[in-house]
Structure 1
């Protein structure tokens, strides 16, 4: 490196002025106008002091250094007595107009004094003298305690010893002592210093706690881009989130405000000062001058590199400012004095080179060029790190910068109504509204606004004031009001007052539809896991159609956002997004038919001594569910939200089994003789036995040493007769001929043992047993199991919906998927997708089975349907069920009309109800009569 021969150094001065300007721009962007003005005034004073010190004679450097050291020691002693304490450390003297930090003066003194002592070369005495002199300010600063500055002082002394070419053998013990004492230093660290080290070493520091400063520095640098956010209107608030933005984290702050370009300018200015100091050291006329210039350049480099590294979280936060850039009166003046001394050394070296007393090699400090290269390389590396942070995480950190200063109050969307096929509401919203305020902002309004709101709410101003003395919540809910009162409050347009629906749900039909509609509640942990986008406190469907179609019904919540400062205090109004009401949902359900089904079913359960019942009325061609009754039911109005705890407790006391279940789709029991048409269909599909073949009848059938009873003695029957009179003995024999696998194959195609696909949650799939799957669950398939399967007992369980599906499927030749919901949106604008009917593979072979079902309805076990105005096809069932009360018999009845061209299927179950034809038959007949009466005009 060739020495520059110009007597002045515009590069050095320009770099210093650039740092001052960038520091002022940083403070102006952050809204610290007064500090920026003071910073510029101090810089003006500093430039004057710099010019004065630049004229200093090199011979006076030693005296000047001793004066600075004496002043710093005296001031440090005074600080220990009357200094200003911050974070448990006394560091400043308050002189009224300005404050002084003596440790900053000590830093320059520990450059000048060692340079003066070691100017004559190394001796052991001079080495010891440097250590003894330096120990005084170092110990005094450490006792403040200000360990970070004490470490800088120690590093400064070591730097001077290295530059002065003290033999490394003498320095090694110092390095060893320093390394060995690091663990002991922990005993002297303040809690906040330990916290900073923990944050640096820990990857899981709480961003809202101990990791706040590091996290905010990452946000500032990562989100700023090339040109920063300082010109945005909200930057003043953003800047408040970055602590110590004018001092310790000034580098992160200037990048935040003016972009990575400004950060690079800071790094370049620091590098220029370091290099120009190195040039001055090489051009110095004396060894002392060379040491002073090199030491000052090294001090600037250390401050700059460490300060930038702490802003990038590459080092713990040490409170290290960048001289003349970061705000600080003492540091700024000392920085300009230091630059003035470098100029003095340079001026002396250029103008008096003829009087040099020793060779250039002897004057040149050790490693000055290497040090400058190292500082420059570290600055380049950190600049690349900052650029990479922006590239890899810029969008994410920018979003964090945007959101951390916003707090949003959720404005719940009004839930869509649910309507029956005729447009009659079956689920609506209570006309009730929440009145809330943004607490802190409303509290700051004038008394007239408070009084007006109190009057509109019908409470006293004192009561309102008491309500506003909350626990610091952003939103304070004041009341629930009706629609007229809510309208008056909205029309008053009071600032910071919010009015929105409570979201309380009402079900006009109560128990009749509760098991179909379900209810709404506050989202719990499972709901949040299932739908991660749900906001805390959202109201969601918890059961039934409310849950199944929650995404349509719930709508889209709005929000009212407010800007908050880092303490959480609202400071301004942010974005408002109005909620979007949920879609209305139109059902296939016929409310009149549903009422009839519920009434008939409840009567059947009550008179028969059964414990529960279910009825299905479904369009046999499309699967549209016209009624889905379940008893006992429950009152879904008590779930609100909020839940009515008194009513809930009263409802759950002494309730029947499965009150909360929809027994039509969630209760699976033995289907009994209704399964015989499935077995008959298996024979039709496989042609094992001719339907005209007559099998022996009787009161029982003996197989494998066991006797299987008939429900009454019968003579020989063909398939039609066996179905007409539900002959158990015939179906024992037919099941033996078919075997369980053939029966199961056909049954599976008819939907046995699988969910129907109805649009309700938590449907039961029932059970279809075979030797294979019974064995897989640890059961045993006995020889008689096949015979019991033939009459729908033993290893077969089905829901009423499954029975309705296979009844309709056999009667029509196609399987339908049941659907409750028909369309959504205004005026049923959007029909819901449906599954097309699936034609059975054996549909053309089912004539004899249908004939048997018609015979049953005309003059058999289902003969009560003979009085209907159209022919019916049906099958009854009486199933043994150990879980059923009384005699343990489940009453089944399933029928379709008209028999030749099925339109509707009706299935009823009463558990513990006895004989199917006697108990469930009147339910089915009554529903068919009502259906035909209301559709007769369309025939």
Structure 2
């Protein structure tokens, strides 16, 4: 070594010593003066926990058949740490992955970015999870290509294949059962729900309709946690601890699969035959309120919600989303006579009396007729139900209206017919364990006055200017005349209001479920039960919590009224003149008695709504079933609804 080289080495060593001394001094300063803040910061950043969503509980039929379960679908994820370690944020890596998967690179890059940041995919495809959680970049990826990449971690670092649970519907197939509106669907949580429930995360889904909504808290389960050790950037290094999630409770229902299938098939066939657009069936156990079958049609494939739904898909199924058994109302037509007949007896009509049934009666300045202007001469009260004689009911209603004071009666005056309807809890929600239940309407004088006060400004404006936008001059003139009449006296309970009410027309509206509950009370001796689809919840540990049967009221009928009502309803199916006699021809009513009432409800501008509500005997197993059938724009109850019910009763009679 020459002198110059030796000197250079000495200088370098001296500089090194000085620098090292400075670093040592600074390290000591940090350790001595910054120890507490540094320790606190290290403790905060050393680990980070994320919530792990629990698998949702199943929804089962009464026999344990799975109606809604969970299936696993593969999701390709990538580590956020690996992306952060790339100089370009992982762009080249994701491009290589996209090439292997034969998808656009921007799709994967967009999904890897946090929602709201530049280049992120649209919600819900962008990443909205914890910064330490694996980032989903593709759902249901092609397995061959994925496995090939997983075998080459040096070329494709950070990739993993996760199995994510999603809702499945194992019975929704040809020959199975649908139940879409009853079961409901899931949707992403919103900000209000996140704020209200700290256990929820942005990735969670919650019930949005049907049983999924009503029993969401039980079905959700208890989330778990995964705690990661993280580096100084907050990115995961390894898993430090795990607490497993606990699956949600199973909801066991009263639904009988064979009966549900029969109800769906019978209604579908009835709608097709009648060329009707929609309908519903409810089968209720009158012994405790359990709903053993329920269908609303049109319907849809409930799996459409799995993984998210497009606007086009939503638009396509929008008419099928509503549960017509629970959420939509119709005038009940003559099925309502089973409810107003006790009112007629309370008003003074004799159960043993004889009543004239002409083809029509004139009340005020209007003629009110029987269906197809039928006349039956002098008949009993039970025959009035059997043949569904409107004119007998019209006279009872008009006589009572006059007795109450007619147009001069106080708005607080309540008809015994309305009292009877409310005794059956019509005009109010049943409390069924399904969301969006409609209350229906039992109108009276007070209601009509209130409606008039709320709408008289608009009505009187129409009375003054008419309907110039309607090109049909005759129709425009008719509507103008109606507006003038309502402007002047729309607050009055007219004779027409009274007679329409008593036969389930006018403003009277009910749901099929409400009528099923009312007829259940007739069947079981007067008890009104709160209907319920769920029978019990069963925890992951196997603990069963029954859903209690709840009595909501009772209907008190005199012995004479009950006998008259039941005899008349049973003659509807068994009597040679009964409106459902043809539908039940060949059914052995002597060993299994089915009683009920048809209804043909007029709806302005549409074909009539077809109804048949019926009940059977108490079975050896202690059950007593009620079947309510409604078909919109299907014609008469005898021709459309009663044959649907007959098919259901053919199966019901075989059940214990």
Shorter-normalised TM range:
0.7 to 0.9
- Aligned 1:164-243 pairs, distance under 5 A: 230=36, 236=38, 238-239=40-41
Work out whether 1:718 is the aligned partner of 2:408: no
- Aligned 1:243-322 pairs, distance under 5 A: none
Q: CA deviation at 1:720?
A: 0.9
Between Structure 1 and Structure 2, whose CA radius of gyration is higher? 1
Residues 346-388 of structure 1: per-residue CA shift (max 9 Å, x gap)? xxxxxxxxxxxxxxxxxxxxxxxxxxxxxxxxxxxxxxxxxxx
Question: Which residue in the other structure is 1:348 paired with?
Answer: none
Work out whether 1:767 is the aligned partner of 2:441: yes
Question: Which residue in the other structure is 2:535 paired with?
Answer: 822
Residues 531-575 of structure 1: per-residue CA shift (max 9 Å, x gap)? 565321211122111111111112222232446578544466555
Question: Which residue in the other structure is 1:691 paired with?
Answer: 351
**CA 1:407 to 1:790, structure 2 compared with 1: closer, same or farther past 3 Å?**
same
Gapped regions of structure 1 (runs ≥ 5): 1-31, 44-227, 241-400, 446-453
**CA 1:731 to 1:533, structure 2 compared with 1: closer, same or farther past 3 Å?**
farther
Q: Which has the larger strand fraction?
A: 2
Question: Which residue in the other structure is 1:919 paired with?
Answer: 640
**CA 1:675 to 1:440, structure 2 compared with 1: closer, same or farther past 3 Å?**
same
Question: Which residue in the other structure is 1:833 paired with?
Answer: 548
**CA 1:36 to 1:828, structure 2 compared with 1: closer, same or farther past 3 Å?**
closer
Candidates 508, 511, 521, aligned match of 2:171: 508
Secondary structure of the corresponding residue to residue 514 of structure 2: helix
What is the distance in 1 between the residues matched to 2:97 and 2:262? 47
Work out whether 1:877 is the aligned partner of 2:599: yes
Question: Which residue in the other structure is 1:907 paired with?
Answer: 628
**CA 1:574 to 1:669, structure 2 compared with 1: closer, same or farther past 3 Å?**
same
Q: CA deviation at 1:38?
A: 4.0
Secondary structure of the corresponding residue to residue 762 of structure 1: coil
Residues 738-784 of structure 1: per-residue CA shift (max 9 Å, x gap)? 45532222211212111111111101111111110222122633221
Residues 806-830 of structure 1: per-residue CA shift (max 9 Å, x gap)? 1111222211111111112266722
Q: RMSD value over aligned CA atoms?
A: 4.1
Question: Which residue in the other structure is 1:929 paired with?
Answer: 650
Secondary structure of the corresponding residue to residue 642 of structure 1: coil
Q: Which has the larger helix fraction?
A: 1
Q: Residue 335 of structure 2 contacts residue 504 of structure 2 at CA under 8 Å; is this kept in 1?
A: yes
Question: Which residue in the other structure is 2:118 paired with?
Answer: none
Work out whether 1:798 is the aligned partner of 2:517: no
Secondary structure of the corresponding residue to residue 833 of structure 1: coil
Candidates 827, 835, 847, aligned match of 2:563: 847
Q: CA deviation at 1:580?
A: 1.5
Question: Which residue in the other structure is 2:28 paired with?
Answer: 37
Q: Residue 411 of structure 1 contacts residue 500 of structure 1 at CA under 8 Å; is this kept in 2?
A: no
Candidates 429, 436, 440, aligned match of 1:755: 429
Q: Residue 872 of structure 1 contacts residue 899 of structure 1 at CA under 8 Å; is this kept in 2?
A: no
Residues 890-926 of structure 1: per-residue CA shift (max 9 Å, x gap)? 1110111128997101110111111101111111111
- Aligned 1:481-560 pairs, distance under 5 A: 499-506=162-169, 508-509=171-172, 512-525=178-191, 527-528=193-194, 533-560=199-226
Work out whether 1:729 is the aligned partner of 2:391: yes
Gapped regions of structure 2 (runs ≥ 5): 1-22, 87-94, 115-126, 402-413, 453-489
Q: CA deviation at 1:727?
A: 0.9
Q: Residue 507 of structure 1 contacts residue 636 of structure 1 at CA under 8 Å; is this kept in 2?
A: no
Q: CA deviation at 1:717?
A: 2.5
State the number of aligned residues: 537
What is the distance in 1 between the residues matched to 2:243 and 2:200? 16
Which stretch has the larger CA shift, 665-674 or 522-531? Answer: 522-531
- Aligned 1:118-137 pairs, distance under 5 A: none
TM-score (normalised: structure 1) = 0.52
What is the distance in 1 between the residues matched to 2:521 and 2:147? 54
Residues 279-327 of structure 1: per-residue CA shift (max 9 Å, x gap)? xxxxxxxxxxxxxxxxxxxxxxxxxxxxxxxxxxxxxxxxxxxxxxxxx
Question: Which residue in the other structure is 2:64 paired with?
Answer: 423
Question: Which residue in the other structure is 1:862 paired with?
Answer: 580
What is the distance in 2 between the residues matched to 1:640 and 1:457? 24
TM-score (normalised: structure 2) = 0.72
Q: CA deviation at 1:412?
A: 2.2
Higher-RCO chain (CA-CA 8 Å, sequence separation at least 6): 2
Q: Residue 594 of structure 1 contacts residue 628 of structure 1 at CA under 8 Å; is this kept in 2?
A: yes
